[in-house]
Amino acid sequence: MNTTSKTTDTSDLREDFLAGMRYVANSVTVVTTDGKAGISGATVSAFSSVSADPPMVLVCLNAESNTLEKIRDNADFCVNVLPEGAKHIAERFAGFHDEEFPDRFDGIDVTASKGPSPVISGATAFICKLDEMVTSGSHVICLGRVIETHAGNFTPLIYMDRKFKRISDLEG
Ligand SMILES: Cc1cc2nc3c(=O)[nH]c(=O)nc-3n(C[C@H](O)[C@H](O)[C@H](O)COP(=O)(O)O)c2cc1C
């Protein structure tokens, strides 16, 4: 196994951190929100389960994110975990096609739920009420209390080493 480390100054620390994070695999989600502040959605890999009693999740969004601003005002959000065939949706909500599709939701199928935030059809969705926001460095952690879950029976899309990947079973 090859590992490297060099921790001398702040810029090395940042570069080492980013290099390490390239080898962390995450599910790809689209975090959506709607309400009095309007609709928004962004691709987010910084997602985690927090608690089952009560059901809680967290997502981390850059402090500059438009979606974050709207989550703050709407106090509602939905975490849509994408299936492996939905790379195009991940790219759309990461802003790769904002010029072609200024409305990121254009042509995206959504499903009704208990909350106002869009549930992307075919995704595993955690529909949340915003519980708390915690600023940490460049990002804001949004803690959500889950009010409804739609479980999709599929293999999730993965992001690792700056690429989209799929999961495969280990033999044996
Ligand atoms: C695979 C992938 C994962 C991403 N994960 C995050 C993330 O965890 N948090 C974040 O703030 N931005 C993340 N981004 C970047 C946002 O999706 C992107 O900046 C988006 O345009 C933000 O939209 P907004 O400003 O409308 O909220 C990710 C992008 C990609 C392609």
- 10 assigned to some structural domain: no
C-alpha 86/C-alpha 156 separation (Å) is: 9
- 20 assigned to some structural domain: no
- Torsional sign, CA 78, 49, 156, 1: positive
- 56 assigned to some structural domain: no
Residue 58 Cβ < 6 Å to ligand 1: no
81-132 residue pLDDT tens: 999 999 999 999 999 999 999 999 999 999 989 999 999 999 999 999 999 9
CB 27 within 8 A of CB 46: no
- 93 assigned to some structural domain: yes
**Nearest-CA residue for atom 26 of ligand 1:** 66
Identify the pLDDT of residue 153. 87
Taking the centre of ligand 1 as the mean of its atom positions, its distance from the CA of residue 104, in whole angstroms, is 13
Taking the centre of ligand 1 as the mean of its atom positions, its distance from the CA of residue 12, in whole angstroms, is 24
- 72 assigned to some structural domain: yes
- 117 assigned to some structural domain: yes
Q: What is the CATH number of the domain that holds 90?
A: 2.30.110.10
What average pLDDT does the segment 30-39 reach? 98
Residue 74 Cβ < 6 Å to ligand 1: no
Taking the centre of ligand 1 as the mean of its atom positions, its distance from the CA of residue 113, in whole angstroms, is 24
C-alpha 1/C-alpha 163 separation (Å) is: 21
Per the structure, the complete domain to which residue 70 belongs is given by 27-47+65-131+146-165
Identify the pLDDT of residue 10. 81
CB 58 within 8 A of CB 26: no
DSSP 71-133: HHHH-EEEEEEPBTT-HHHHHHHTTTTTTT-SSTTTT--EE--SSSSPEETTSEEEEEEEEEE
Taking the centre of ligand 1 as the mean of its atom positions, its distance from the CA of residue 1, in whole angstroms, is 31
- Torsional sign, CA 103, 109, 113, 119: negative
- 102 assigned to some structural domain: yes
Number of structural domains found in the chain: 1
Residue 42 Cβ < 6 Å to ligand 1: yes
Residue 28 Cβ < 6 Å to ligand 1: yes
57-66 residue pLDDT tens: 999 999 999 9
